[in-house]
Amino acid sequence: MLAVASGRHDVVMASGVEKMTDLKTSEVTTALMGAADQEWEAGIGLTFPGLYALMARAHMAKYGTTLEQISTVSVINHRHGAKNKKAQYPYEITLEQAMKSQLVADPLRLLDCSPITDGAASVIVASEEIAKKLNPVWVLSVQQASDTVALHDRKSLTELAAAKIAAKKAYEEAGLPATKMDVTEVHDCFSINEILSVEALGYCPDGKGGKFVQDGKVAVGGERPVNTTGGLKAGGHPVGATGIRQIGDIYLQLKGKSCNQVKGASAGLALNVGGSGATANLAILGRELRRK
């Protein structure tokens, strides 16, 4: 986007790809932990399920978030993914199945965790002059923010501070508030992260994300539809392709071409998270070009 906005290039294709299933689970786990603190997290045997389990337990202790609320994230995302032919797991699950699936890192169960995935995605970004000829979806804002890599260095384990900062900057640049986001993609690598994300994006107050999900507000037809094609949980998580896939799904929603269409969607947000929240990359797209 910056290459096009600077005038250096007129058309750019950005692509992401990941081939993960040829490795053993232990090898994938080790590779993924390259995005975590090496001395105090990876070095003592922590994994990403373990890190997000710590965040989940902290959220449960501080706000009373329940296992049922956490599991509801997976239930809704599988319901969405059941309509996506490209999803890794295109089928529904029950709340009981989610809550009673194999324990991975307490309180997170198997059905709270995104899978090991192969996949690729691409988007094309064009200059305004070229895009106007193509009936495009417009890039209204792209923002990034960072936090500490290690959990123990953060001010709070119950929030995604980087996502909050990126969201605030993006809403200001796009000239649209959180309430105008008709469709959203968030990084549900683990179900607790969707709860943390809807709070960070300002869709509900801190600590209310569990109830927000449980009340069905993130479902298609709800107040703020999230991960309408299954997210990372049901759609799959080919790590290097996930961020671009999220952009692609927002694009399809705004063009009215999604497999699980949100009626009248005119603006959408994609939030991609690195590590256990160490980085946040956020984009807002719209059907109309807005200028301040």
Answer yes or no: are the C-beta atoms of 150 and 158 closer than 8 Å.
no
Sign of CA dihedral 45, 49, 52, 58: negative
pLDDT tens digits, residue range 191-243? 999 999 999 999 999 999 999 999 999 999 999 999 999 999 999 999 999 99
Specify the pTM: 0.96
Per-residue confidence at 291, pLDDT binned at 50, 70, 90? low
Rounded mean pLDDT of 112-131? 97
For residue 2, how many other CB atoms are within 10 A of its CB? 10
Give percent of the chain above pLDDT 90.
98
User: How many Å apart are CA 151 and CA 104, to the nearest integer?
Assistant: 19
The predicted pLDDT at position 290 comes to 76
pLDDT of residue 221: 96
Closest C-alpha to 185, from 134, 94, 123? 123
Q: State the pLDDT at residue 292.
A: 59
Pairing of strands 267-274, 183-185: parallel
Q: What is the DSSP-derived secondary structure letter of residue 34?
A: G
Residue pLDDT, tens place only, 47-85: 999 999 999 999 999 999 999 999 999 999 999 999 999
Cβ proximity of 194 and 186 under 8 Å:
yes
b/e burial code for range 248-281 (CB count within 10 A of at least 16 → b): bbbbbbbeeebbbbbeebbbbbbbbbbbbbbbbb
Q: What is the mean pLDDT of residues 88-96?
A: 98
Closest CA to 234 of 74, 127, 70: 74
Domains and CATH numbers, the chain: 2-286 (3.40.47.10)
**What pLDDT, in 10s, does the model give residues 269-278?**
999 999 999 9
pLDDT at position 182 over 70:
yes
How far apart CA 251 and CA 249 sit, in angstroms, is: 5
Q: Could you tell me what percent of the chain has a pLDDT over 70?
A: 99
Mean pLDDT rounded to a whole number for the chain: 97
Neighbouring-strand partners of residue 125: 12
- The tokens for 193 are 């992260």
Backbone φ, ψ for residue 40 (5° rounding):
-105, -10
The per-residue pLDDT for 289 is 85
Q: Any idea what DSSP says for residue 110? A: G
- Which ranges of the chain would DSSP assign to H, the alpha helix? 2-5, 25-32, 48-63, 67-81, 95-100, 128-131, 161-174, 191-200, 209-214, 231-235, 239-254
Quote the CA–CA distance of 176 and 171 in Å, as a whole number.
5
The angle, 0 to 180 degrees and rounded to 10, between the axes of the packed helices 191-200 and 161-174 is 50
